[in-house]
Amino acid sequence: MPKKITMQLIADRLGVSKYTVSQALSGKSGVSHGVRMQIIEMARTLGYRLPSGSSAPGAYGASPSGSYGSDARSAVPGAGPSGAPGRDARSAMPGAGPSDAPGRDARSAVSGVGPSDAVGCDTRGAMPRLLLYMEPRYMEEPDFWRRVLDGLLSACRDYGWTPGFLEHAPYGHEAFTRSPAGTPDAAGLIVVGKTSSPKLLSLRQLGLPMVLIDHEEPLVEADVILNANLEAARMACNHLLAHGCKSVIFTGRDSFAVSFKERWWGCRLAVDEWKSAHREPPVQLKKWTLPYGSPGWVMQLDKRLDMLQACGDALPEAFLCANDQMALQLVGTLQARGISVPDQCRVVGIDNITKSAEASPSLTTVELAKEDLGRRAVQAMQRKLGSRGGLSEKIILSARLIVRQSG
């Protein structure tokens, strides 16, 4: 059963109070314009039904019922009666059936969508087409990449684009250039997440303006939308050091994503800066590389803790994890061993996924853009198409520390 979307959930996502959310959604004063817009956008993305008489929906083109995201037809441009005038959602998302609501589940949103489905259908009278490419492993991840995809699809609707998913054929990256993606109706391509250089170089041969999300490739001319990953980890580590932690273990996997590597750099930078400014007492930083993303990574985490105890080493005063999923797993593992968090060991994550606020203890983390990554990518494509020949841009979205109970 789908989880009920509440004001508290919206508040937890944004790191604000439930009262602030209530004031913003009811159109009352006392909330800044910027915060109000963030709250309304998050409510729309999550599918929250706004109160009747609210002034918020009109600014965003809500349906008469005041409900956002509750109908597949409104999830993509060209929606039917409850969304923008145009085609039915099934034609707006090629290959999707009546129940395939884009934005509800990344896997169902692209189910059955191959190169010929995504870009080879008859598009006479259709809205401009924007191609999306996303590695299958990211489509399986609901807490971060699903929300990036939600933001992409929401922005496509707002800007009048029809999204089409470009599927990577199993017989080699050259298949990209043999797909019908180069047809005139495809105006641009957004690549979501880390993608290998050979694939990106093949995608470049399609001749479409390109925007990359959470990844950079010097060999490919593209606009880039990134989170401030280094600054996020630096911020989190400084928070731990300011609370007197003199031994910190960073858990991550550099090869999983560029963002993971940058977060390790940020943690290391914070410790180096602290050592330069505070000669005594010394700070000890270690790194655990775990096979995150592989089936056995949780077992490896257990083994690391076993080795720590077997060697008689003291438990670190704090763990800083490359993302919230890793941090939440670590908290559970420590608690199962009778180790109290944060009394005996602090744990901090990065990302601020929904589960972080719901955990016990609630997880201290760093808020990084998710839906906004997708939205800003579409905005970057709009700019890119309007200024052909201009220099590519790199946009870095800022981070925000959210202090909760775990650290």
Contact 240, 323 (CB under 8 A): no
CATH of span 7-60? 1.10.260
pLDDT digits 0-9 by tens, 162-212: 888 886 644 444 445 434 444 557 889 999 998 888 999 989 888 899 999
Which is it for the CA torsion 197, 200, 205, 208, positive or negative? negative
Tell whether pTM > 0.85. Answer: no
Q: What is the pLDDT of residue 61?
A: 33
| Token pair for 222 | 């593209």
Q: Tell me the chain's radius of gyration from C-alpha atoms.
A: 22
Beta bridge partners of 190: 132, 211
Residue among 23, 28, 32 nearest 43 (CA): 23
Q: What is the pLDDT of residue 77?
A: 34
Contact 367, 145 (CB under 8 A): no
| Token pair for 54 | 């609210």
Q: What is the pLDDT of residue 3?
A: 62
pLDDT digits 0-9 by tens, 306-327: 999 888 788 999 999 999 999 9
Residue among 247, 265, 374, 258 nearest 308 (CA): 247
| Token pair for 131 | 């191609």
Which of 17-21, 80-84, 250-254 is predicted with the least confidence, judged by mean pLDDT?
A: 80-84
Rounded-to-integer distance, Cα 367 and Cα 45, Å: 17
Domain-wise residue ranges, the chain: 7-60, 85-227+371-398, 229-367
CATH topology of domain 85-227+371-398: Rossmann fold (3.40.50)
Domains 85-227+371-398 and 229-367 in one fold = yes
Answer whether residue 119 shows pLDDT above 50: no
| Helix (H) or strand (E) run with residue 352 in it | none
Pairing between strand 162-165 and 346-348? unpaired
CATH value of 229-367 in 3.30.56.10, 3.40.50.2300, 2.60.90.10, 3.60.15.10: 3.40.50.2300
Rounded-to-integer distance, Cα 73 and Cα 50, Å: 18
Confidence label for 73 from pLDDT (cuts 50, 70 and 90): very low
What is the rounded average pLDDT for all residues in the chain?
A: 78
